[in-house]
Structure 1
Amino acid sequence: MEISGWMYVVVVILGIIIAVTLIGCLLTILAIWTRPVLRKLVNVPLVSLSCADIISSIFSVSLLIHTYLHPQWEPLGALCWLQAYITIVLWGVSSCHMACIALQRYFIVCTNSTLLKSTRALAIMLLITWLIPFVSFLPIHIVEEVKLDPKLKRCGMGASTNLWGKMVPAILNFFGPFIATLISYALIRYNVKKSNNRVVQGSSSPNNAAERQITRMMMTLFVVYTVCCVPLIMMAIFSSRVPSEAFTVGQVLMALNGALNPIIYGLMNRNIRQGYKHIWDSLLNSIN
């Protein structure tokens, strides 16, 4: 089968996205790990999300490129199953991270509970963030047949008629976390407007200014996630009515989210930006 010219353009774009994602996410992890000023609980979810983005780029997006370049290629049974399962799980992991980050901001900004702000609470939230997608998507991937979807250009279960098998994981991994994130940020906004003594508004304290900027950054992450990822998630749910070209655009946007996250960190957080520069300078010095 002949590959169209625009598909080569898509492949080049995806290749650039993979490179930017890997470099950006690795820089993020190293910066937070090595810089004392960044070793804070608020940055732990960013490390976790970066790990998810790296796995997605290496596995899901790379296989997608191979499928675009070799339209007749079909992965073997085990690889096909793994591609379908890991891809959708990582979608859920990203969505749950948005909720985890929003809840953490809510606990910091709107509550006085040391328990909710503790390392233990964050560890439990991150464990749930990874556990829910892995567990909730497993039953339908065991029960239903997994095969190559010609529209998605990857293995999946778009043709499955098991509505409940699809809807329960969708609620747990997409709709539920999305609503929880919206509610959390709405409550933060309400709390800030209600009291000038809250972290996000009305204080000249350097600590409050820093927290204010962190909250803006996390909200920006959610907005970018919504723009990049929600279209493909909705297309996957209503796949029978969506043309294959729309799926291609949706998958490029989904991959782009992983590349944009480190850029947002660098643009909106001075300490992370300085961490990037420090690691990059150290790398160049070691080469020279």
Structure 2
Amino acid sequence: MKEEQYSPSKAGFNLYFINLSLPGNIFVVSLAVADLLVAVYPYPLVLMSIFNNGWNLGSLHCQISGFLMGLSVFGSIFNIAGIAINRYCYICHSLKYEQLYSNKNSLCYVLLIWMLTLVAIVPNLQTGTLQYDPRIYSCTFAQSISSAYTIVVVVFHFILPMVIVIFCYLRIWILFLQVRRRVKPDSEPKLKPQDFRNFITMFVVFVIFAICWAPLNFIGLAVASDPVNMVPRIPEWLFVASYYMAYFNSCLNAIIYGILNQNFRKEYRRIIVSLCTSKMFFVDSSNNVADRVKCKPSPLVTNNNLIKVDSV
């Protein structure tokens, strides 16, 4: 029993199962939910605002749209930080990983992320910073309403999570370089290729997030430092470009997963093939049923024939 449990093939299966298990994937699913929030409600309203050349849906929809956008923004960065901490513990503290990230603990961590997200976005409702901006045709966080809150948002939404993520990934890079230098050709490395590929995927997610969101956050800091003088100095095209660049990040994560993760590519192909196959099967089945109905003799005619034969 022990030999079967610790055999190389069994170990490889366990490593694959760990990578697909709840503790690791629940943060990715949570990040996907945060990305989808803007697509479900705010983005359709933005399109309607563009077509109507203004917001005519009322203040309630404006507040809901801005609130969901805030949930998506804060949820994304907090989940990215949670993923970085998860990868750091999995690679750098592997002996304690199963204890730290049990299924129950992982669910608690995700709930904590969303609680922090709510705590970060709720003050918008009190400060009145969720307003319609005609430059971007959407209801969003107005940086010039409250300088103090804008600084707090930038610090806790961008700077602090970036510091945490950078620390985690730097530690992982250092460990990876140490393993490459110390490992012998005939010995098995401690850092598995699958672990490194997963790390690269999430590292790219973090880098693209930082690139997309950095301009808008720096503009926010500039506006918060002196709202009266800085708002007129910021070109409209720069603000609009930084805003759409930031929110465009929500649709990039799935593309990154598809490009860098083989399991995601396989699942994408499987889903597409399944959809096409099921559609073709449905069409073929419908045609076969119609053909069988056409070719099948009428029961009434068959009964009449039988009756005639019997009468003879």
How would you bin the TM-score normalised by the shorter chain? 0.7 to 0.9
How well do the aligned residues superpose, as a CA RMSD in angstroms?
2.9
Of 121, 129, 151, which aligns to 1:167? Answer: 151
Instruction: Determine if contact 2:209/2:249 at 8 Å carries over to the other structure.
Output: yes
Of 224, 234, 242, which aligns to 2:234? Answer: 242
Of 131, 156, 176, which aligns to 1:192? Answer: 176
CA separation of 1:124 and 1:95: change in aligned 2, threshold 3 A:
same
The CA deviation at 1:237 is 4.4
1: CA distance, partners of 2:247 / 2:116: 22
1:100 corresponds to 2:100: no
Q: Counterpart in 1 of 2:72?
A: 90
2: CA distance, partners of 1:50 / 1:138: 22
CA separation of 1:38 and 1:185: change in aligned 2, threshold 3 A:
same
Instruction: Determine if contact 2:205/2:256 at 8 Å carries over to the other structure.
Output: yes
CA separation of 1:45 and 1:137: change in aligned 2, threshold 3 A:
same
Judge which range, 66-75 or 93-102, deviates more: 66-75
Judge which range, 190-199 or 130-139, deviates more: 190-199
| Helix, strand or coil at the partner of 1:155 | strand
1:115 maps to amino acid: Q
1:143 corresponds to 2:127: yes
Q: Counterpart in 2 of 1:132?
A: 116
The CA deviation at 1:129 is 2.0
The CA deviation at 1:281 is 0.7
The CA deviation at 1:253 is 2.1
The CA deviation at 1:145 is 5.6
Question: How far does the alpha carbon of each residue in 1:180-228 deviate from its partner, in whole angstroms, 9 at most, with x for none?
Answer: 11111112122333445999xx975698111111101110111111122
1: CA distance, partners of 2:219 / 2:146: 17
2: CA distance, partners of 1:37 / 1:102: 14
2: CA distance, partners of 1:53 / 1:216: 20
1: CA distance, partners of 2:35 / 2:115: 16
1:284 corresponds to 2:276: yes
Q: Counterpart in 1 of 2:14?
A: none
Question: How far does the alpha carbon of each residue in 1:2-40 deviate from its partner, in whole angstroms, 9 at most, with x for none?
Answer: xxxxxxxxxxxxxxxxxxxxxxxxxxxxxxxxx998445
Instruction: Determine if contact 2:179/2:190 at 8 Å carries over to the other structure.
Output: no
The CA deviation at 1:103 is 0.3
CA separation of 1:157 and 1:207: change in aligned 2, threshold 3 A:
closer
1: CA distance, partners of 2:124 / 2:275: 45
Q: Counterpart in 1 of 2:27?
A: 45
Percent of aligned pairs with the same amino acid: 23
1:71 corresponds to 2:53: yes
Judge which range, 163-172 or 99-108, deviates more: 163-172
Give the unaligned 5+ runs of structure 1.
Answer: 1-34
Q: Counterpart in 2 of 1:266?
A: 258
| Helix, strand or coil at the partner of 1:73 | coil
CA separation of 1:158 and 1:256: change in aligned 2, threshold 3 A:
closer
| Helix, strand or coil at the partner of 2:41 | helix
CA separation of 1:276 and 1:197: change in aligned 2, threshold 3 A:
farther
Q: Counterpart in 2 of 1:120?
A: 104
Judge which range, 156-165 or 52-61, deviates more: 156-165
1:287 maps to amino acid: K
Could you list the runs of 4 or more consecutive aligned residues of structure 1 that deviate by over 4 angstroms after TM superposition?
195-199, 202-207
Q: Counterpart in 2 of 1:17?
A: none
1:148 maps to amino acid: Y
Q: Counterpart in 1 of 2:162?
A: 178
CA separation of 1:36 and 1:193: change in aligned 2, threshold 3 A:
closer
The CA deviation at 1:242 is 2.8
1: CA distance, partners of 2:182 / 2:87: 12
The CA deviation at 1:128 is 2.3
- The number of residues matched between the two structures is 252
2: CA distance, partners of 1:243 / 1:253: 15
Name the larger-Rg structure: 2
1:256 corresponds to 2:248: yes
| Helix, strand or coil at the partner of 2:142 | coil
Give the unaligned 5+ runs of structure 2.
Answer: 1-16, 224-230, 281-312
1:227 corresponds to 2:211: yes
| Helix, strand or coil at the partner of 2:246 | helix
Instruction: Determine if contact 2:74/2:120 at 8 Å carries over to the other structure.
Output: no
| Helix, strand or coil at the partner of 2:78 | helix
Instruction: Determine if contact 1:96/1:174 at 8 Å carries over to the other structure.
Output: no
- Quick one: higher RCO (CA 8 Å, sep 6+), 1 or 2? 1
Instruction: Determine if contact 2:34/2:71 at 8 Å carries over to the other structure.
Output: no
Instruction: Determine if contact 1:92/1:173 at 8 Å carries over to the other structure.
Output: yes
1: CA distance, partners of 2:135 / 2:220: 10
